[in-house]
Structure 1
């Protein structure tokens, strides 16, 4: 084996080892995100979900405000029975 072949093999082995180390370092983390960044995004998502739940509660109160549940159910059924204008 010539010295040039040995150099090429050493470079090739080093490159493969570098790729393997890089994959192992980032395993378990999507897109290489750090754990603290992932935790922060999870907390942000939880806050957004809670805000959306509060909005839904407010919208439910607005739609039901002063009306009985039966009247609302009847209105929903009457809207379901109407043909859709988009259907043709």
Structure 2
């Protein structure tokens, strides 16, 4: 079933999301915030405690989303169930 295009798309999205979570977790652990201006120039700065807490909360939310995406990718659900799960994620 790995050849199914829908499964492959979900797997790619899950891999990218996991990578972003790991990157965000690393930056949050060390209190690093990366800013980007309108020209695409990136700068990094240290976060204060409230910003660090907000980043940790965001990481927790992203981990929950990953769990749902992994469940969607591994379950043998119908397309309607998958659509409902994705919409539930968007509503959060």
Q: Mark yes or no: TM-score above 0.5.
A: no
TM-score where L is the length of structure 2: 0.34
Structure with greater Cα Rg: 1
Give the structure-1-normalised TM-score. 0.35
Q: Which has the higher strand share?
A: 2
Structure with the largest fraction of helix: 1
For CA contacts below 8 A with separation 6 or more, give which structure has more relative contact order: 2
